[in-house]
A and B are shown apart, each in its own frame.
Chain A
Amino acid sequence: MLVHSKAGRWAAWSLFLFLFLPLFALPLLVVVAASFATHWSGALPSGPTGANYGAAVRGESLRALTTSLVTALVSSLLALTAGTWAALAAQALRKGARRVMDALFVLPVAVPSVVVGLAVLVAFSRPPLLLNGTATIVVLAHTVLVTAFAYQSVSAALVRLDPAYEQAAASLGARPGHVLWRVKIPLLLPSLNAAAGLCFALSMGELSATMMLYPPDWMPLPVRIFAATDRGSLFTGSALAVVLMATTLLVLAAFSRIRTRASYR
């Protein structure tokens, strides 16, 4: 730690708790409390019940959860594939061309996601590519949004990868394809895994672009949470939010377990 004196350490911890608790922890705790409540007239939600969860894990809500999971898994896998491919390709480019690639891939992050949603909607609402009203358009928009993050994490990992490995493999007679699958991809696995987790988490929580695009039969959970709170069902919405949070954390924990097994260094 940078702070050495005992008093200084106490001060640092107090400041951290003072900032962290009200800003990060308490709101989440209140959501958890609200998800178990029937009334909220005092300072805290009251009237404990499990009924909100009963509704949150069956029927339409359960369908929204699986919709979110499928969307997030498919789009993060697509984004990871496209992002990794692009990052590997960009590495072979000259400096100027690589800058252009970097800029292109940062575009979906720089542009507000509601604009990305609108753009995708406008682009695919007419033949020949009529995707409006399908699940595909939601997955597509999520993929566009999270590919930027996949591209950036893999690019950063590639920069850190010592070229000596690739060169040693080449000197031993390995063709570029062999080097890619037997050396580069295995060495990048920890980074690919982290990128996949990030993409998944972002897609699970995506609302603004999804709002522009989702068809009635493909409604992801964040949209349902928004709809519930919008019509005043705060406690149902809170329960759905907790389910979304727990599912995302669970999947991320699974990712990080694979990560610890996949890291060699």
Chain B
Amino acid sequence: MSGIRFDSVSVAYHGTTVLDALDLTVEPGEVMALLGPSGSGKTTALRAVAGFVTPAAGRILIGGRDVTGLPPYRRGIGMVVQQYALFPHLRVQDNVEFGLRARKEPKAEIPARAAEALEMTGMAGYARRYPRELSGGQQQRVAIARALAIRPQVLLLDEPLSALDAQLRSGMLAELARLHRELPDVSMLYVTHDQVEALTLADRIAVMDRARLQDCGTPQQLYRAPRTEFTASFVGQANLLPVTVADTAGAALFDGRTLTVDTGTAAPGTTATLCVRPHLLALGAGPDALHGPNALHGRLGEVQWRGATHRLYVDVAGHRVAADLPELRETPTPGTEVTLHFAPRDAVLLAAGAGA
């Protein structure tokens, strides 16, 4: 059992800091997603674990062993990348055996271990094929089998599903979740910009932006109670509204009206950001029993039909508020005045400037 520890790891390219003092621990057997937009430093963090970039400062530990100065081939990690990187001149079988041969495993065991890895990813029937004879999804399965064959303690996945189409992606996501259940000892570091992948697969999510760790927690924590505005908007595209805390009993002022929310420890008179998810907003003429007293009044800007839902953009006192509503029988006309409601328990108040 071994996890990964980032100990104040910084990486710089040509004087630009691309990873800024990252402190993060991936527990043994845990799936940690590194979630963030491109350029957030998440891939750099993964490549630092693999040994392809050298930290300017800090240490990286795998299973308690300091690997910062070790070359990639001595780190004992499995890695799966977006473009599969299967060796085109080798058959599937030889691709999967590559790591076992390179590590000089006993010759007699190699074919059986390769077969086992191919079995695990459902590619046993393709051992004689060349990579070019396989589809993208099949190639990615072989790449996973190749990484698992060496029985790594740590599996690094760098946007492994980005090159697949939407349908294959959800299938592979289920597959990866199954592999994680079958290999409970393997720690996984999963880099992605897709919040659905992170929310589905990860035990914990580390949210990255601009070379820094912004937030870290279980998917539920990050989704229900984000600690920073960046997390709130990146995970689940929450609406963010500036409010002023009125009193500790749960009142906040926005647009001259009082909203009832959990103000927590925020001091009265301070400014804060109200965060409410688009799908937790309801459309209505007035307060109702289900959603309580909180109302946002505004002018409807745009209506988008998204199949199962309607996405409404409402201009509320100069702020664009998005609301996802179950498919509407009658869609309101853009330009008309509408009211959106939300329950006090569905909103989160963030202290001003959190994580900015």
Contacts and interface: CB of A to CB of B under 8 A. Distances in A.
Contacts of A178: 102
Chain A interface mostly: helix
Given A174-B99, A182-B98, A264-B130, A168 B81 contact: yes
B67 to A, nearest CB: 12
B96 to A, nearest CB: 10
Nearest to A172: B99
Contacts of A186: 87, 89
A265 B102 CA distance: 24
Given A162-B83, A167-B52, A175 B73 contact: yes
Return the 10 tightest CB-CB contacts between A and B, nearest first: A172-B99, A174-B102, A164-B85, A171-B79, A170-B72, A168-B85, A173-B103, A264-B88, A186-B89, A264-B89
Contacts, number: 78
Given A174-B73, A189-B89, 19 more contacts: A167-B52, A168-B85, A168-B146, A170-B51, A170-B72, A171-B50, A171-B79, A172-B78, A172-B79, A172-B98, A173-B99, A174-B99, A178-B102, A182-B98, A187-B87, A187-B88, A264-B88, A264-B89, A264-B132
Contacts of A264: 88-89, 130, 132
A162 B87 CA distance: 11
Contacts of B73: 170-176
A169 interface: yes
A187 B72 contact: no
A183 interface: yes
A10 interface: no
A175 B81 contact: no
A40 interface: no
Interface in A209-249: none
B72 A171 contact: yes
A165 interface: yes
Interface in B52-109: 52, 71-79, 81, 83, 85-89, 98-99, 102-103
Interface of A: 162, 164-165, 167-176, 178, 182-183, 186-187, 189, 264-265
Contacts of B88: 187, 264-265
B110 to A, nearest CB: 13
8 contacts: A165-B85, A171-B75, A171-B77, A171-B78, A172-B79, A175-B102, A182-B102, A264-B89
Contacts of B156: 171
B205 to A, nearest CB: 24
Nearest to A178: B102
Interface of B: 50-52, 71-79, 81, 83, 85-89, 98-99, 102-103, 130, 132, 143, 146-147, 150, 156
A183 B76 CA distance: 19
Contacts of A168: 79, 81, 85-87, 143, 146
A50 to B, nearest CB: 47
Contact of A169 (B71, B98, B143): B98
A170 B71 CA distance: 8
A169 B88 CA distance: 12
B102 A162 contact: no
A171 B147 CA distance: 9
A173 B147 CA distance: 10
A103 to B, nearest CB: 24
A167 B83 CA distance: 12
B43 to A, nearest CB: 12
Contacts of A175: 73, 102
Contacts of A182: 98, 102
A172 B102 contact: yes
A165 B146 CA distance: 13
User: Which of A162, A172, A186, A187 has most B Cβ within 10 Å?
Assistant: A172
B253 to A, nearest CB: 54
A12 to B, nearest CB: 35
A164 B83 contact: yes
A258 to B, nearest CB: 14
B283 to A, nearest CB: 49
A193 to B, nearest CB: 14
Nearest to A168: B85
B86 to A, nearest CB: 8
A44 to B, nearest CB: 52
A167 B98 contact: no
A167 B146 contact: no
A175 B156 CA distance: 19
Contacts of A165: 85, 87
A47 B257 CA distance: 111
